[in-house]
Structure 1
Amino acid sequence: MKKTVLSLLNYIGCIGMALFVTFVIDGTIGMVLTYALVIALVASLVMTLAILHSVKVQPVLNAFAFSKGDKAVLDIRFINSGFLPVPVISVEIENSPHFQLEGSNEMKGSVTGKGANSLTFNLTAKHSGKAHIKIKGITVTDYLGIFSFKLKTDGIQTELTAAVYPDIPEVFVQTGLVTTASLLSGSEEEEEESDETSAVPTGLAGYDHREYTPGDPIKRINWKLSSKRDILMVRLDEKIKNSGRTLMLDLPAAEENEASLTVRDNVIEGALAVLNSMLAEGRESTLYYCKQGLWMSADIHLPQDVYALQEELSDFEPSENAPVIPPELLEKSNAVICFTSAMGGSSASAEYIIDRLPDTMIICSYASSLPVITENQWALTDGFELNRM
């Protein structure tokens, strides 16, 4: 608007100079200049209005699914079906914090008669979830650069969405997490060994084995096999192998900004890391998560299940009206490991979970500044280490 006023004042100044020439220097030359300026303005407006009906817009995103760090390219293509060239066409976009825009959010260009051109915006996928890119407005400026007109976007997809995958950290989360959850849920790992046998053949009758990790019961170490392999090996009976753990994601609706999305990423990726760690320990698990207002569950038996869950969470958007706790968990008595993105000052969902499920282990992001709401609360660092609060 400010630029339009300035351009108009400059034009009026030119008219004033032409009138000055008319009355002071040479009337004929002055009148010619005055008429030329007026005709130029009228012609510019008429041709610009005609152009508005001959330009078509096609926004194109190079992909609709990205990993964090991937480059997204938004091409806004203009096709001019008329003979008149488009003098100046400008586009302004806005994007959700899931993407980081490189450069300005406004670009300008021109299109020749019967030609085409593109304006390209480059972005980088930064945070997981459902990302949005919106075309705020497209304007065409007349040939004299005085007036600007909005190009109608009816029938044009002005808002594009893309899925950004959360990372699956290649780290091993401390097994103290699982040990604590086991104590809460009355796990029988500390009891006598079971006589049940594994259905998976291992070369040793009756048991499957894996490497020892801190927190494993000493009595389950197979000393004979360990001496042969020169590394501590732990045997898994069916009771241990199939002793599943129940996890849930508490991702309450919040204003999406750099801080909230960083916390949410940390929590989601921490949960994926824990699921991988449990698989490495020979443990299966179930994760509950809310999507589009409905609670869903994912049974994790194999690494492929973690990848499938990663894809499910790639287009995640929080739901404001969804139940805080899955109804199934309210009917069960076993302990739950809850990963929450609740933050200091907005901890209502986490407090409600503790109120309804008091034995729940709460895992929050260290960056969330969530106050201590239960004795069994852990903070997840950027490096996915767990520290008890």
Structure 2
Amino acid sequence: MAINKTINKRTNSHGAMRNCIEYVLREGKTDQHLVHIIGPYPYEEVNYDLVYQSFLEEKRLWGKDSGRMYAHNVISWHKDEKITPEQALEFGIAFAEKWFSGFQTVVSVHKDKDHIHCHLVTNSVSYENGKKLHNSRKDLERMKQLTNQMCRERGLTVAGKGKHFDGSQIETGEVIAWSKDKYNLFRQQKKDSFVADCAMVVLTVMESCISREQFIKEMGNLGWNVNWTENRKHITFQNSEGKKVRDSNLSKTFHLKISKGELEDEFIRNEQKERCITGRDDTADADLARYYRQVEEAVAGTSGGIVESKYRKGQTSGNTKKGSGKYPEMSGTDAGASRKSSEDLIRKSEATRRASEANRGKSETANRIVQNAEYQSVAAEKQRRSAEQERAAEQERARAARRKNKRRTGPEL
């Protein structure tokens, strides 16, 4: 599994380029037979100073000894990958010849770690036509695809998103630390980590919030200040001690979905769940109230019938016999009327209950239909927002390119 990473550090000075080349060719990290230079190199010996001078000569030849000096890429393989240093060198050379065609590149394989990795330092000025090297975000994606393609051609493992080297799924909350020091901190648990604390607080708060404002307020109640603004790409969390952590750091470290867009989607889902639950409760309460009201009306109708009215007026039958109880016994006609009224009451209550259950089932079905429609609406809105962001980014890149072309002088870049 090869990971091709571009090192984004300041590359606009001679000293930075010299230090980078010196590190890549340092003794103890690589051997002479694991070093290769692509492009013009007039010297027999290979050392960092001569490579540095060769890069400078090419820049001065084309009159472009300013701006970005070099590009630095690292291709690394998993420690369990079956690859030798010589094969890694061949891989790096093949990649440089395809991707950095026409540019001087020094390729060096390091074997001082538990995993083999290859460094590529490329001159920013082409020795063929003097053009400067440019890589956009789309180019970085194509670089990744080329690396994966080369791995497949050589029978090497290809990295899968959300999966380990052996193909197993990365579980939510699992620690994936790109920094070695950070990984050792989490693994050994020698001391508390404010990054882990922040992740736990975010997970707890996001489950119950339905808006960004509520999320920020709840985080503040738990001791975390949230910097969430429209003009910043990432959310920054800061605790009472002044320690800060970005949402991107938490996402990579713990394999969580807590970016701006993902949190907003979670808020929408929470609001929909709350609305559906409230709707179901209101419907059930209304059905139950209607049921009891019908029962009470039935009871009221029975109590106001013939039997009760006769008792109230003392109009018992003349043939009625005295019972042993306090109240006089009812005649056969009155008893039959009472039993009939009771049976009518039971039938009405049972019918009302069945109607209430049927209405509740219809309400739940309607709620599910509404919920599915809302989910589809959210997905469509998310897709639309993503398309608008991509269009805005493309327009901004076009404007930046036009501004850069206006400032250029001399030969065409």
More strand by share: 1
TM-score (norm 1): 0.20
Kindly name which structure, 1 or 2, has the bigger radius of gyration based on alpha carbons. 2
